[in-house]
Chains A and B, each alone.
Chain A
C-alpha cells in the first residue's frame, strides 16, 4: 500500500468521503474549544489589553497562508513529476483557501495594528510580503481560470507556482532589506528561551490545530468537487458526441 494509490480519483473520493466527517468534527471541536478558551478564559495582556486575543485568529491564518502555498508547491511538483491529476486539482483547490487565509491574516493584522501601532497599515516587511503573497495567489488563480484546456492549465500553473515560490522568497528578503519593521519577531519558535506565555500558548495551539484541520477539510472537499465537476464535463461531452 503506497501513498500513490490516492492518485486514483475514485480511491481518493472514497477515502476522503470516509475521512471528511471526522476531519470536520475535529475542526469544529478544535476551533470552538480554542476560540472560546482563548476569548473568554485567558487573561488580558497587561499592555495590550483585550486586543491580544486577536492572536487566536491572526497567527493561525497567517501560518496557513504560507503553508497553503507550500502545499500547492508540493502538489505542483507531484503533478510535474508524476502527472497525477488529483494532485493538480488539489493545488487548484488550495489556492482560494490560501488566498482567503492571507486576507484574514492581513485584515486581523490591520484591526490589531490600529489600536497597538496607531495605524491600519505600515510598509513593514512582514505586512508587505503578505500583500505580495496575496498578489501571487491572485495571479495563480487567474491563470487557472484563463486557460480552457485542463492539462495545459495544470502544467502552466504548476510552473508558475514553482517560479512564484522562488520569487516570493526573494521578495521576502528584499522587503526586509528595504524597510525596518513594526511587526514583532517570532514569538512561537520551539527553540527559543523566551516565548509567548503558556497561558496564551495552549489555546493558540488548539486554534492552530483547528485551522490546519479546517484547511485540510476544505481542500479535500474542494478537490472532490473539482474531480466531480471534471467528470460531469466529460460525461456531457460524451453525450454530445453520441
Chain B
C-alpha cells in the first residue's frame, strides 16, 4: 500500500503536470474572475470564498482522469488488480495520492489567491479549513467518477457530467463555511456537515469505486 502511494506520488511529480497543473489552473481561474465581473473590491471580496471553492473544485476535476487512465493504458492496473492488495485499498490509495498532489496544494494556495480577490480577513482561516476538510471528499468522489469512465475513450467530458452533480453537497457546505466565516457568523453547523460528508464518502465510496473498477477490468 505504501509502495503504491509512493509510486503514484513519484509519478505525479516526475512525470510533470501533476502537481503544477492543478495549481496553475486554480490561479488562472481566480485571475479570470475579476476580468469577468469587474475589479470592484467590495464585489470581489463578497464572492471571493465562492470563487475559491469553485476554482478548487474545477482544478480537482481537471486532474481526475490521470488517476486511472495511464495505469489503464499501460496495463499496470491489471497487475494491481491481481496483486494481494484488495481493490478497495488500491482505490483509496489512489484517492489519497490524488488528494496529496491536488487537494493539499490547493489548500495552501487558497489564502495566497485570496489576496488577489481581496478576501475579507476573518475568512482566510475558514477558507483554508473548509478546503482542508472538503477536498478529500472531492478526491474520493472524483476517484469514483474516474473509475466509472476509465474504459471509455475520451471520457473526460462524460466524467465531468457524472462527477459535477455529485460534488453539489460538498460545494454547498464548503462554500457555506467560507461565506459564513467571511461574514463572521457561526460556522459550526456547515463545518460539521461538511466533515460528515467527507468522512462518509471516505468510508463508503471506495467500495463503489472498487466494484466499478472490477467491472471495467473484467
Chain A interface (Cβ within 8 Å of chain B)? Answer: 132, 135-136, 138-139, 142-143, 146-147, 152, 155-156, 159-160, 162-164, 167, 170-171, 174-175, 177-178
Q: How far is the CA of A178 from the CA of B193 in the complex (A)?
A: 12
Check B197 against A147 for contact (C-beta < 8 Å): no
Q: How far is the CA of A143 from the CA of B205 in the complex (A)?
A: 19
Check A156 against B158 for contact (C-beta < 8 Å): no
A-B contact count (CB 8 A): 74
Residues from chain B with Cβ under 8 Å of A159 in the complex: 148, 208, 211-212, 215
Check B197 against A156 for contact (C-beta < 8 Å): no
Tell me which of B158, B176, B205 contacts A142 (CB under 8 A): B158
With A147-B151, A152-B215 known as contacts, the answer to whether A170 contacts B164 (CB < 8 A) is: no
Q: B105 at interface (Cβ–Cβ under 8 A)?
A: no
Nearest neighbor of B218 in chain A, beta-carbon distance: A152
Check B168 against A162 for contact (C-beta < 8 Å): no
Residues from chain A with Cβ under 8 Å of B190 in the complex: 177
**B residues 154-183 with Cβ under 8 Å of A?**
155, 158, 161-162, 164-166, 168-169, 172-173, 176
Closest 7 CB pairs of A and B: A174-B169, A135-B165, A170-B169, A174-B172, A155-B215, A139-B162, A171-B168
Tell me which of A132, A142, A163 contacts B144 (CB under 8 A): A163
Nearest neighbor of A137 in chain B, beta-carbon distance: B165
Check B152 against A147 for contact (C-beta < 8 Å): yes
Q: Which of B144, B148, B169, B189 has its CB near the most chain A CB atoms (within 10 A)?
A: B169
Check B148 against A156 for contact (C-beta < 8 Å): yes
Tell me which of A132, A138, A163, A174 contacts B208 (CB under 8 A): A163
Q: How far is the CA of A164 from the CA of B141 in the complex (A)?
A: 11
Additional A-B contact list (11), CB under 8 Å, known A136-B165, A146-B158, A163-B166: A138-B161, A143-B158, A152-B215, A152-B216, A156-B216, A160-B148, A167-B165, A170-B168, A171-B168, A171-B169, A177-B190
Nearest neighbor of B212 in chain A, beta-carbon distance: A159
Check B161 against A142 for contact (C-beta < 8 Å): yes
Nearest neighbor of B162 in chain A, beta-carbon distance: A139
With A156-B212, A163-B205, A167-B168 known as contacts, the answer to whether A139 contacts B151 (CB < 8 A) is: no
User: B208 → chain A, closest Cβ, in Å?
Assistant: 5
Residues from chain A with Cβ under 8 Å of B158 in the complex: 139, 142-143, 146
Tell me which of B151, B164, B169 contacts A135 (CB under 8 A): B164
Nearest neighbor of A172 in chain B, beta-carbon distance: B169
Check A146 against B169 for contact (C-beta < 8 Å): no
Residues from chain A with Cβ under 8 Å of B205 in the complex: 163
Tell me which of B152, B168, B197 contacts A132 (CB under 8 A): B168
Q: How far is the CA of A162 from the CA of B209 in the complex (A)?
A: 12
Q: How far is the CA of A138 from the CA of B160 in the complex (A)?
A: 12
Bits for B180-218, please: 1 = Cβ < 8 Å to A, else 0: 000000000110010001000000010010011001101
User: B53 → chain A, closest Cβ, in Å?
Assistant: 13
User: A166 → chain B, closest Cβ, in Å?
Assistant: 8
Q: How far is the CA of A138 from the CA of B152 in the complex (A)?
A: 17
Tell me which of A138, A162, A178 contacts B176 (CB under 8 A): A178
Tell me which of A147, A160, A162, A174 contacts B173 (CB under 8 A): A174
Check A178 against B172 for contact (C-beta < 8 Å): yes
Q: How far is the CA of A175 from the CA of B193 in the complex (A)?
A: 13
Nearest neighbor of B205 in chain A, beta-carbon distance: A163
Check A177 against B176 for contact (C-beta < 8 Å): yes
Check A177 against B172 for contact (C-beta < 8 Å): yes
Check B152 against A146 for contact (C-beta < 8 Å): yes
